[in-house]
C-alpha cells in the first residue's frame, strides 16, 4: 500500500464557525451568508412539538419509530443493523476505539476527522489517493461522495475490497440514486454512516446513523448508551425521513440552484473541480484573495490550507443569497439569473 503518512493538525478547521470569521472581518455586513458548511440551505420545516417531547426522557417507542423510518428511507432490510447517534461524528470517534490496532487507509483528501480519530486511537494511518492503493490495509475509510472533492466511487469497487473493515461515510449521498449506496445489500465487513443534518438542513439537531453488521451494531449501541438521541431529535428525524415529497422537492430545487451556482462561479473565473447537490468545489489561482474579498462582503466560503487554490461553496438559497454572492465576486446579475433550457424556476 503506497503510504502518505498522516500527521494530525493541532486544530481542525470546520465550516460554519462564523464566530471566528466575524472576528477576522468585524466590519462585514450582517447577517452573514454562510456557504461554508455543505448543509441544505433550505432546511426541513420543523413544526411545533408536543411539550412532553421536551419534558420526558426519550422513549423506546420513539426510538423504534425513528429506526423504522430510517430503514424505509435507506432501504435497510434488517432494522437491527441501524444505530441512531447524536450525529455521525459520534460514530466516527467510536469506531477506532472498537477496532483492534490496524493499518488504516483513508481515501483522500477528505473529511479530516476520520484520519484524526483513527490516529488518536493508536492506528497506523495512511492517506491514499486512489482506492486501488488501499488493498493491503486492514481498515479502509472512504467518504462517498467525497467531501470536499465530490468524487463518487462505484459500489463495485467498494465491494471488491478485502479489508477486515470498510467504513463508508455516505453523508452526502441522499440526493443520488439508491444504487449509489451500499445500504440495500450491506457487505458483511462494512459500516455505513448516514447524516440527517446535511440533507435536511438540520445540523443543529445532531442526528445521524450507522448501518453495521449486527455484532458491531450492538457494540455501537452499548457504547452510545441509553438516551443517546434526544426526544426532539427522534420526533423531527422520524418526520423528515418519512417525508418523501419534501425530499423530491429539495432534490429538484438543488438541481436548479446548482446550475445557477455553476454559471456564477465560472463567470468569476473559477474552475469547477467537483460537485454534489449540496456544494461545489472550485479552484482559482487567487483563491485566498477572493476568500478575503468574500469575507469583507459578509460571505463565508470554505478554504483549505493544504490546497490554497481550492474553495468550497455551499448552495445559496434563493435570489437574495445569489445576489450577495454575485456582488461579492463582482459577477453581473444577468449571469446567474439566466436559466438553462429545461431548468425550471428557482426555489
Determine the pLDDT at residue 1: 45
* CATH number where 310 lies: 3.90.1150.10
Distance CA 132, CA 272 (A): 25
Question: Residue 347 falls within a domain, yes or no?
Answer: no
Domain extent at residue 212: 51-242
| Residues above pLDDT 90, as percent of the chain | 88
| Residues above pLDDT 70, as percent of the chain | 93
Q: What is the mean pLDDT of residues 232-243?
A: 98
**Per-residue pLDDT at 341 exceeds 60:** no
Which of 224, 242, 260 is where one domain is finished?
242
Determine the pLDDT at residue 13: 62
Mean pLDDT for the chain overall: 92
Domains in the chain, number = 2
Q: What is the pLDDT of residues 249-265, one digit of tens each?
A: 999 999 999 999 999 99
Question: Residue 97 falls within a domain, yes or no?
Answer: yes
Question: Residue 29 falls within a domain, yes or no?
Answer: yes
Which of 199, 227, 242 is where one domain is finished?
242
Are 206 and 123 contained in the same domain?
A: yes
Q: Check residues 2 and 297 and name the one with the higher pLDDT.
A: 297
Q: What is the pLDDT of residues 58-101, one digit of tens each?
A: 999 999 999 999 999 999 999 999 999 999 999 999 999 999 99
Are 181 and 290 contained in the same domain?
A: no
Distance CA 142, CA 224 (A): 23
Question: Residue 103 falls within a domain, yes or no?
Answer: yes
Are 140 and 81 contained in the same domain?
A: yes
Are 261 and 310 contained in the same domain?
A: yes
Question: Residue 228 falls within a domain, yes or no?
Answer: yes
Question: Residue 211 falls within a domain, yes or no?
Answer: yes
Are 232 and 107 contained in the same domain?
A: yes
Are 231 and 312 contained in the same domain?
A: no
Question: Residue 230 falls within a domain, yes or no?
Answer: yes
Are 59 and 208 contained in the same domain?
A: yes
Are 75 and 172 contained in the same domain?
A: yes
Determine the pLDDT at residue 339: 58
Question: Residue 227 falls within a domain, yes or no?
Answer: yes
Q: What is the mean pLDDT of residues 161-176?
A: 97
Are 278 and 198 contained in the same domain?
A: no
* CATH number where 145 lies: 3.40.640.10
Which of 222, 242, 262 is where one domain is finished?
242
C-alpha cell, 168: 463508508
Are 180 and 305 contained in the same domain?
A: no
**Per-residue pLDDT at 237 exceeds 90:** yes
Are 71 and 204 contained in the same domain?
A: yes
Q: Check residues 14 and 267 and name the one with the higher pLDDT.
A: 267
Are 288 and 229 contained in the same domain?
A: no
Amino acid at each position: 500500500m503506497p503510504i502518505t503518512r498522516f500527521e494530525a493538525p493541532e486544530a481542525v478547521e470546520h465550516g460554519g464557525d462564523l464566530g471566528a470569521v466575524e472576528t477576522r472581518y468585524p466590519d462585514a455586513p450582517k447577517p452573514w451568508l454562510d456557504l461554508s458548511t455543505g448543509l441544505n440551505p433550505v432546511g426541513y420545516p420543523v413544526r411545533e412539538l408536543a411539550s412532553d417531547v421536551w419534558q420526558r426522557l426519550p422513549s423506546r417507542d420513539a426510538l423504534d419509530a425513528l429506526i423504522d423510518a430510517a430503514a424505509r428511507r435507506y432501504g435497510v432490510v434488517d432494522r437491527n443493523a441501524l444505530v441512531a447517534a447524536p450525529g455521525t461524528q459520534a460514530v466516527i470517534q467510536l469506531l477506532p476505539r472498537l477496532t483492534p490496532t490496524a493499518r488504516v487507509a483513508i481515501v483522500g483528501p477528505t473529511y479530516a476527522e476520520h484520519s484524526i480519530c483513527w490516529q488518536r486511537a493508536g492506528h497506523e494511518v495512511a492517506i491514499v489517493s486512489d482506492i486501488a492503493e488501499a488493498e493491503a490495509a486492514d481498515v479502509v475509510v472512504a467518504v462517498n461522495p467525497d467531501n470536499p472533492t465530490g468524487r463518487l466511487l462505484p459500489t463495485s469497487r467498494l465491494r471488491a475490497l478485502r479489508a477486515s473493515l470498510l467504513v463508508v461515510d455516505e453523508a452526502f449521498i441522499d440526493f443520488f440514486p439508491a444504487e449509489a449506496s451500499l445500504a440495500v445489500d450491506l457487505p458483511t465487513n462494512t459500516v455505513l454512516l448516514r447524516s440527517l443534518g446535511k440533507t435536511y438542513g438540520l445540523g443543529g439537531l445532531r442526528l445521524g446513523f450507522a448501518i453495521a453488521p449486527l455484532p458491531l451494531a450492538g457494540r455501537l449501541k452499548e457504547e452510545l448508551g441509553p438516551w443517546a438521541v434526544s426526544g426532539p431529535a427522534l420526533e423531527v428525524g422520524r418526520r423528515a425521513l418519512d417525508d418523501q415529497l419534501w425530499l423530491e422537492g429539495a432534490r429538484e430545487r438543488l438541481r436548479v440552484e446548482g446550475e445557477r451556482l455553476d454559471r456564477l462561479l465560472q463567470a468569476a473565473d473559477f474552475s469547477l473541480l467537483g460537485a454534489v447537490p449540496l456544494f461545489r468545489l472550485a479552484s482559482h489561482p487567487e483563491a485566498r484573495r477572493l476568500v478575503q474579498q468574500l469575507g469583507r462582503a459578509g460571505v463565508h466560503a470554505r478554504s483549505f490550507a493544504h490546497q490554497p487554490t481550492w474553495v468550497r461553496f455551499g448552495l445559496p438559497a434563493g435570489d437574495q443569497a445569489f445576489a450577495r454572492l454575485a456582488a461579492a465576486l463582482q459577477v453581473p446579475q444577468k449571469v446567474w439569473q439566466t436559466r438553462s433550457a429545461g431548468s425550471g424556476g428557482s426555489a
